[in-house]
Structure 1
Amino acid sequence: MAVTTEGVVSSRTGPGDWLTSVNRVCLEHASGFVAERCDEQFRGRGEGSLAIEALPEFVGGGKFLRPAFAYAGWCCGRPEDDAAVRAATSLELLHCFALAQDDVMDRSALRRGRPALHTRFARWHRDQGWSGSATRFGESAAVLFGDLFLVWSEQMLRESGLPGTTLARGWPHYDAMRAELAAGQLADLVNDARTLPSWDAVLDVIRRKSGNYTVRRPLEFGAALAGCDARVLRTLGEYGGLVGEAFQFRDDLLGVFGDPDLTGKPVSQDLRDRKASSVVVLAVAMADAAQRQELQILLDEENLDDDAVAGLRATIAATGAPDQLEKLIDRRVRKAVELLDDAGVPARMLETLAVLAARCTDRVL
């Protein structure tokens, strides 16, 4: 039976329940679409036997934030529509592309509490007793499957059921999002490879790599598909920019102080990877002379053991940077929600966007 949004609409008792229902429908669309594509490409072929299991599972572990923002953008201009849900869901496959390759770049063994794709395929290589480097095989496979997710994302959008004239309004935003993601990743890579960047440089990367890609562009994409006017698009863009920054600030805090059961990654993985995240850069800027010296000594260590990581966490906390980031998150979310008043956003979506902003920035440390 085809999934429709009729249940989403009729069961709506509030924005939280509605968003949960949208998330469920998006998950069903994404998992079903990827499972069908895997059957087409890999069924009966030995080299794809693990992909048939691993790729749908990888998709199913997501939070579907980007589709939620995209569909919220659509609902700012048009009624509920299952084809629009499928179009919005295509952004989750774009996200899977980014995650698969990001984990290779960051050498992250885990994703969403499970082995990352490259880790899983490296283990498969070893289990088969094949020759050559299992690590290299796993990384190469993850890059290729990331490429597939990129292709499938566009295919899912094109085959969503929306008319060509409707899709035409969204393509420029979809293309901008993909280009910004790659350019932002490169900027992030450069930041992590040099002396700690400035706060302004970190903000620039956050906006291009994470903030725009997670919130602003999906919102604009959905609203453009719906034919929203320039005023609504502008307001959603401003809202999305602020919430996107707040989202990344929270993500950076979780990368240092988060619970591994929540983040799906080892404790303080960002510190072990020496990522130039907002909390680290802000801590260095706010540190006194003694604290700055401690941070520099620890950041210069070749390999950070558990004691070194604990020392970094304690010093970062002592600078006041985490508290300052919490204030920045709160200010951005408050300002973003205030922007929506009297800006042409339908009343039924005002509370929904406020709940979405809270959901993606109030994750527990």
Structure 2
Amino acid sequence: MLKLPAEPDRAAPQASTGSAGVDHDAGDALLARVSVVIDELLEAEAAHWGAVDARVAVPVEAVRDMVRAGGKRLRPAFCVSGYLAAGGTADSERTDTVVAAAAALELLHVFALIHDDIMDNSDTRRGTPTVHAKHAARHAERGWAGEHRRFGEGIGILAGDLALSYANRLAGGLSGPALRIWNDLVTEVIIGQQLDIALAAELKADPALSRWVAVCKSGRYTIHRPLSLGAAIAGRPGLQGAFEEYGVAAGEAFQLRDDLLDAFGDGVATGKPAGLDLVEHKMTLLLALAATQDERVARLVEDGRSGGWDPAELRDALSASGVRREVEEQIDQLVATACAALDDAPLAGDWHKRLVRMAEQVAYRDR
């Protein structure tokens, strides 16, 4: 889980002075409340539906298990940060609203992950079996009727739908600009996923389209919209422009790092199979860039149209193409763009420095 950074110039957190943005413990306290809200909701739902029949509670338990498996909690962290950076306080009457919204963002993320794992045919997530893989295996072990895979995917679809339902329930108290932001981000992540699977099926190497997927599925959904949602709840719509520029750039850097970790990272560290995007023909921005610049990569991508895609050979070609260095340079530029977007933003307390640190954390992570 991402902890909100303390002020870079201080060796240790300082006690609250009562000024907005100065309490270094406020963000972590709000995030702790987010975890409590999610846990209490899922425990209550599991108990309620489990009392009907143990089988009825299966999708609830799948959502609960996914939440408990860990994760960076980036979206709640950026929502809380947007709220505090906009001058919101931990003792405001709006606190319950931002905590519920941040919890909704995490459950929206769980929805996206569960469905994404089905579409990507992924067997592991956060170091444990994915929902559909776990239940397909259970179906096989118990000798139940029908197809193992269809059963597992059915459970996964229902669990993902349930997570989305819970997310919308928690977001039910939003209104005005905050509600519009929530509706936009829910739509964007689904539409971005549609284009993602379309490009994978067509093997279309179009950096502009792949970048749009990265921005829609990651830049807006991970950083921009959560920050803007927090600011809207705090009553500061004037920060939307700066948060959009910062969030889209930092979010694209986040996604490019994700592409690099998938292609060249350690699956044990990331908690999911290394090279899965290549195995599943995902036209990531990394691959689209390489395919338009390197003849060998372009040939291997073209071979994929007739079933000749070799993930190991493609990974070698990517390594030799020099695209990794180019993408690292792009990440540097995007981080610089994100940080510069905050220069003139009227942020509370030390939040300019703290958001700079957060952009660096998401862009240069190793998992």
Please state which band the TM-score falls in when normalised by the shorter chain.
0.7 to 0.9
1:335 and 1:228 map into 2 onto residues whose CA distance is 22
Aligned-partner residue type, residue 137 of structure 1: F
Per-residue CA distance 1:131-157 (angstroms, 9 max, x = gap) = 111210110111111111111112123
The 1:131–1:229 alpha-carbon spacing in structure 2 relative to 1, beyond 3 Å, is: closer
Indicate yes or no: 2:117 matched with 1:103: yes
Indicate yes or no: 2:185 matched with 1:180: no
Aligned-partner residue type, residue 220 of structure 2: N
Q: Which is helix-richer, 1 or 2?
A: 1
Shifted more, 98-107 versus 30-39: the winner is 30-39
Among 222, 226, 233, the alignment partner of 1:225 is: 233
Among 63, 69, 76, the alignment partner of 1:67 is: 76
Where structure 1 has 5 or more consecutive residues not aligned to the other structure, the ranges are: 1-7, 159-163
The 1:54–1:182 alpha-carbon spacing in structure 2 relative to 1, beyond 3 Å, is: closer
Give me the TM-score of the superposition, normalised by structure 1: 0.86
Residue 263 of structure 1 corresponds to which residue in structure 2? 270
Per-residue CA distance 1:195-220 (angstroms, 9 max, x = gap) = 32311111111111221111111111
Q: Kindly, what percent of the aligned residue pairs are identical?
A: 33
Instruction: Give 1:24 shift.
Output: 4.2
Among 182, 194, 201, the alignment partner of 2:202 is: 194
Per-residue CA distance 1:209-263 (angstroms, 9 max, x = gap) = 2211111111111111111132x11101110010111111011111111110122
Instruction: Give 1:344 shift.
Output: 1.1
The 1:253–1:22 alpha-carbon spacing in structure 2 relative to 1, beyond 3 Å, is: farther
Per-residue CA distance 1:147-178 (angstroms, 9 max, x = gap) = 111111121233xxxxx5x6433111000011
Give me the TM-score of the superposition, normalised by structure 2: 0.86
Instruction: Give 1:30 shift.
Output: 1.8
Aligned-partner residue type, residue 90 of structure 1: A
Instruction: Give 1:272 shift.
Output: 0.8
Among 39, 48, 52, the alignment partner of 1:31 is: 39
Instruction: Give 1:267 shift.
Output: 2.3
The 1:363–1:47 alpha-carbon spacing in structure 2 relative to 1, beyond 3 Å, is: same
Q: Report how many residues are paired.
A: 344
Residue 278 of structure 1 corresponds to which residue in structure 2? 285
For the 8 Å contact 1:106–1:273, the answer to whether it is kept is yes
1:136 and 1:315 map into 2 onto residues whose CA distance is 35
Instruction: Give 1:55 shift.
Output: 2.5
Q: Which has the higher contact order (CA 8 A, sep 6+)?
A: 2
Aligned to 1:193, the other structure's residue is in SS state helix
1:338 and 1:355 map into 2 onto residues whose CA distance is 13
Instruction: Give 1:348 shift.
Output: 2.2
2:79 and 2:323 map into 1 onto residues whose CA distance is 32
Residue 80 of structure 1 corresponds to which residue in structure 2? 90
1:321 and 1:217 map into 2 onto residues whose CA distance is 29
For the 8 Å contact 1:26–1:64, the answer to whether it is kept is no
Per-residue CA distance 1:102-133 (angstroms, 9 max, x = gap) = 11111111111111111112122223332111
After superposition, the CA RMSD in angstroms is 2.5
Instruction: Give 1:53 shift.
Output: 4.1
For the 8 Å contact 2:136–2:152, the answer to whether it is kept is yes
Where structure 2 has 5 or more consecutive residues not aligned to the other structure, the ranges are: 1-5, 7-11, 15-21
Instruction: Give 1:329 shift.
Output: 0.8
2:340 and 2:255 map into 1 onto residues whose CA distance is 20
1:63 and 1:113 map into 2 onto residues whose CA distance is 14
1:97-136 equivalences in 2 (<5 Å): 97-136=111-150
Per-residue CA distance 1:270-320 (angstroms, 9 max, x = gap) = 111111011111111221x455445644x457376xxx4332222111111
For the 8 Å contact 2:260–2:324, the answer to whether it is kept is yes
Residue 57 of structure 1 corresponds to which residue in structure 2? 65
Instruction: Give 1:56 shift.
Output: 1.4
Among 324, 327, 351, the alignment partner of 1:325 is: 327
Aligned-partner residue type, residue 274 of structure 1: H
Aligned to 1:347, the other structure's residue is in SS state coil
1:204 and 1:117 map into 2 onto residues whose CA distance is 28
For the 8 Å contact 1:16–1:355, the answer to whether it is kept is no
Residue 353 of structure 2 corresponds to which residue in structure 1? 351
Per-residue CA distance 1:310-360 (angstroms, 9 max, x = gap) = 322221111111111111111111121121122212232112212221221
Indicate yes or no: 2:220 matched with 1:212: yes
Aligned-partner residue type, residue 63 of structure 1: K
Residue 3 of structure 1 corresponds to which residue in structure 2? none
For the 8 Å contact 2:101–2:171, the answer to whether it is kept is yes
1:262 and 1:301 map into 2 onto residues whose CA distance is 33
Residue 153 of structure 2 corresponds to which residue in structure 1? 139
Aligned-partner residue type, residue 76 of structure 2: P
The 1:136–1:16 alpha-carbon spacing in structure 2 relative to 1, beyond 3 Å, is: farther
1:16 and 1:315 map into 2 onto residues whose CA distance is 46
Instruction: Give 1:38 shift.
Output: 1.9
Aligned to 2:221, the other structure's residue is in SS state helix
